[in-house]
A and B are shown apart, each in its own frame.
Chain A
Amino acid sequence: ILNVEQSPQSLHVQEGDSTNFTCSFPSSNFYALHWYRWETAKSPEALFVMTLNGDEKKKGRISATLNTKEGYSYLYIKGSQPEDSATYLCAFTGNQFYFGTGTSLTVIP
């Protein structure tokens, strides 16, 4: 069984704060690393797919970096807003998708 770990498990921040969380994965047999944003009662929404060591992706106030050699990815949210409240999941793709347990973010107005 392949371990994908996310930390922290949950996070509460004030509106306007910047925050970041971590996804750790095995550094061998790497194909891609996916980040999803998942609001309650909705479908997980794809944020980023990252494949190359050193990749940096950005979508508005959200960005992500990837280090395949040491097996981690960071997701950053700049100036958090209440609508950013969601669970953020990462998934490592080797021969199948392996998900972490997610980081639950609550942004307090």
Chain B
Amino acid sequence: ETGVTQSPTHLIKTRGQQVTLRCSSQSGHNTVSWYQQALGQGPQFIFQYYREEENGRGNFPPRFSGLQFPNYSSELNVNALELDDSALYLCASSLYGGDRGEQYFGPGTRLTVT
């Protein structure tokens, strides 16, 4: 296992609600990236955080937001949930500027929006 943990493992929310997902990065890593994997697709990049600032964003609307804390752990917040937000959310930690951009993934949070 990678040492990257995510919580919760699963959750169910209703359309219009808000959700917060959490990620603890691997020791020594200062960068966290978040991905969404919808059914039948590969993981899609949401955004990356480095030194508590957003450091790159994929094609996701502003209702997807994040935070990184001084201990490099991170949160992904999604407001005004839509049915299409149902997916597996992965976080990955890495060392910024580290060797070839290797990322280490957590096991994911499965979000179901009803």
A42 at the interface (CB under 8 A from B): yes
Stretch at the interface among A13-21, A74-82, A93-101: A93-101
Name the residue in A32, A96, A97 with the highest tally of chain B Cβ atoms < 10 Å from its Cβ.
A97
A102 — nearest CB in chain B belongs to which residue?
B42
Is B72 positioned at the interface, with any CB of A under 8 Å from its CB? no
Binding site for B on A (CB under 8 A): 1, 4, 6, 31-32, 34, 36, 41-46, 49, 51, 89, 93, 95-102
Q: How large is the interface on B (under 10, 10 to 19, 20 to 34, 35 or more residues)?
A: 20 to 34
Complex Cα distance, B35 from A51, in Å, reads 23
- How far in angstroms is the closest Cβ of chain A from B42? 4
Q: Contact at B100–A97, with CB atoms within 8 Å? A: no
> For the complex, is B96 an interface residue (Cβ under 8 Å from A)?
no
A39 to B108, CA, bound (A): 12
Which residues of the other chain, A, contact B42 by a CB distance below 8 angstroms?
Answer: 4, 6, 89, 99-102
Q: Are B41 and A101 in contact (CB under 8 A)?
A: yes
Interface residues in B43-100 by Cβ distance below 8 A to A read: 43-45, 48, 56, 58-59, 90, 92, 99-100
A2 to B41, CA, bound (A): 14
Given contacts A1-B59, A96-B56, contact A46 B102 (CB under 8 A): yes
Bound-state CA distance A98–B102 (Å) is: 13
What CA separation (Å) do A77 and B72 show in the bound complex?
Answer: 36
Q: How far is the CA of A51 from the CA of B43 in the complex (A)?
A: 21
How many whole Å from A76's CB to the nearest CB in chain B?
21
Task: Report how far A6 CA is from B43 CA in the complex, Å.
Answer: 13
Taking the complex as formed, is B33 at the interface, i.e. its CB lies under 8 A from any CB of chain A?
A: yes
A/B interface sample: 26 pairs, CB < 8 A: A6-B42, A31-B100, A31-B101, A32-B101, A34-B103, A41-B107, A42-B107, A43-B104, A43-B107, A46-B103, A46-B104, A49-B100, A51-B100, A93-B100, A93-B101, A96-B45, A96-B56, A96-B58, A97-B33, A97-B43, A97-B45, A97-B101, A98-B45, A99-B44, A101-B42, A102-B42
